[in-house]
């Protein structure tokens, strides 16, 4: 079954409605395309995923050159996120500028010791794709991914170029819409998430991935395998996807955000259901797009998502410790709460949640070296969900 649900405006001044052909910038949801391109080059014998980045790219900082390609794909490299230092969406951020501004930054942790989401990992994989293939990143996606998959509309973005059917980006604040900053062309099509995608592209894309048109069956398994860590445990992130399990079945998902655009993509491999939600409005007051996508998935396939799970009654010591940590404010964390994976970077970028009304587990499943527990956190105006990884001695090795 293919279903399109479209509403709203792609362009307010021109009163252009959103249609299944409207192109949305899906930001980090597009990391899977970069990952597949790297896998294609590996399957063609041009690179190996165990290669170090410096084997193919020269003039890199030593800490960058030493990282293996698989660690970049899995987000276990320890490289800091360039968007937290540069973040100038409307100005060029070419390779020389990124290295000049970022090259002296220390790594967050030794490669493989932990996991931390960093757009730098996929940005430099774009440089790799261009170096090895000999063509630009946008051309590579078009020639070796989008055209072979039969996608009717998908393409790399080009922020400074008029593109037929591209939604205009907006921000909603103070009760009014205004244009979001227009991204510079190079920034808008960078490999950490520079793709325009329409609803009409979703079904052929999933058919191409699932049907083996783009990479081998073994490559697909690798892309959906969790990130190995030096502790012997695994982080639930594959190649451009977060990896989860709900109702005992595997789930792939990712979110994305760029000026004026928000996206969330979730796929249930067992059933073949894939839901992509995208909007061209950034607004803090709107319901989370993730919840909207999960609600749609639940309506199409009941008891598929964690929205249909019940909260456990009563609490336990782990839940109480985690709740205290989430409401920590500026206070120090429980010294014994973190396993080595999180202690390696001091709990970098872990969530803080205040005004928690209630919190309880809704589901758990065993993993190598511990247990994953999903929590529902009741706060106004919307409930949220967290996935925690607990070691056998009740320390956190994952939280997100």
Same domain for 322 and 217, yes or no, is no
Same domain for 232 and 103, yes or no, is yes
Give the pLDDT confidence of 202-222 residue by residue, as tens digits: 999 999 999 999 999 999 999
Domain stops at, among 219, 242, 265: 242
Same domain for 125 and 21, yes or no, is yes
Same domain for 167 and 40, yes or no, is yes
Q: Is residue 297 part of a domain?
A: no
Same domain for 229 and 336, yes or no, is no
Same domain for 211 and 66, yes or no, is yes
Q: pLDDT at position 2, please?
A: 64
Q: Is residue 283 part of a domain?
A: no
CA 259/CA 169 separation, integer angstroms: 7
Query: What is the reported pTM?
Result: 0.95
Residue 393, number of CB atoms within 10 A of its CB = 8
Structural domains of the chain, count: 2
Same domain for 40 and 168, yes or no, is yes
Residue 19, number of CB atoms within 10 A of its CB = 13
Percent of the chain with pLDDT over 90: 80
Same domain for 221 and 340, yes or no, is no
Give the pLDDT confidence of 135-165 residue by residue, as tens digits: 999 999 999 999 999 999 999 999 989 999 9
CA 333/CA 347 separation, integer angstroms: 9
For the chain, helix, strand, coil in percent to 5 are: 30, 25, 45
Same domain for 67 and 186, yes or no, is yes
Domain of 44? 9-242
Same domain for 205 and 107, yes or no, is yes
Domain stops at, among 242, 262, 297: 242
Give the pLDDT confidence of 226-256 residue by residue, as tens digits: 999 999 999 999 999 999 999 999 999 999 9
Same domain for 56 and 180, yes or no, is yes
391 contact partners, CB below 8 Å, separation of at least 6: 233, 339, 369, 370, 397
């Amino acid at each position: 079954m293919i279903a399109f649900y479209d509403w709203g405006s792609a362009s307010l001044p021109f009163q252009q409605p959103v249609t299944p052909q409207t192109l949305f910038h899906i930001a980090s949801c597009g990391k899977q395309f970069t990952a597949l391109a790297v896998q294609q080059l590996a399957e063609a014998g041009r690179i190996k995923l165990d290669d170090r980045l410096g084997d193919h790219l020269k003039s890199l900082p030593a800490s960058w050159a030493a990282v293996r390609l698989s660690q970049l794909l899995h987000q276990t490299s320890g490289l800091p996120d360039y968007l937290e230092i540069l973040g100038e969406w409307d100005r060029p951020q070419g390779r020389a500028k990124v290295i000049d501004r970022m090259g002296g930054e220390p790594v967050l942790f030794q490669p493989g010791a932990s996991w931390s989401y960093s757009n730098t990992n996929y940005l430099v994989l774009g440089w790799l794709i261009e170096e090895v293939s000999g063509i630009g990143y946008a051309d590579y996606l078009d020639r070796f991914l989008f055209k072979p998959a039969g996608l009717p509309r998908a393409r790399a973005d080009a922020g400074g170029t008029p593109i037929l059917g591209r939604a205009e980006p907006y921000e909603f604040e103070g009760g009014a819409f205004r244009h979001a900053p227009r991204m510079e062309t190079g920034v808008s099509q960078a490999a950490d998430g520079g793709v325009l995608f329409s609803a009409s592209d979703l079904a052929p894309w999933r058919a191409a991935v699932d049907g083996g048109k783009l990479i081998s069956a073994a490559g697909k398994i690798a892309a959906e395998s969790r990130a190995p860590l030096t502790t012997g445990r695994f982080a639930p992130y594959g190649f451009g996807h977060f990896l989860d399990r709900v109702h005992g079945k595997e789930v792939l998902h990712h979110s994305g955000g760029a000026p004026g655009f928000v996206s969330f993509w979730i796929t249930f491999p067992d059933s073949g259901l894939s839901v992509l939600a995208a909007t061209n409005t950034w607004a803090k007051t709107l319901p989370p797009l993730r919840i909207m996508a999960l609600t749609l998935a639940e309506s199409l396939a009941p008891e598929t998502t964690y929205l249909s799970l019940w909260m456990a009654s009563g609490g336990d010591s782990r839940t109480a410790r985690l709740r205290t940590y989430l409401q920590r404010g500026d206070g120090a964390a429980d010294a014994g709460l973190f396993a080595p994976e999180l202690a390696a970077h001091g709990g970098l970028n872990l969530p803080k949640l205040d005004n928690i009304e209630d919190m309880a587990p809704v589901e758990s499943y065993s993993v190598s070296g511990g247990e994953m527990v999903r929590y529902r956190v009741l706060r106004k105006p919307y409930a949220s969900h967290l996935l925690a990884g607990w070691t056998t001695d009740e320390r956190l090795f994952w939280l997100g």
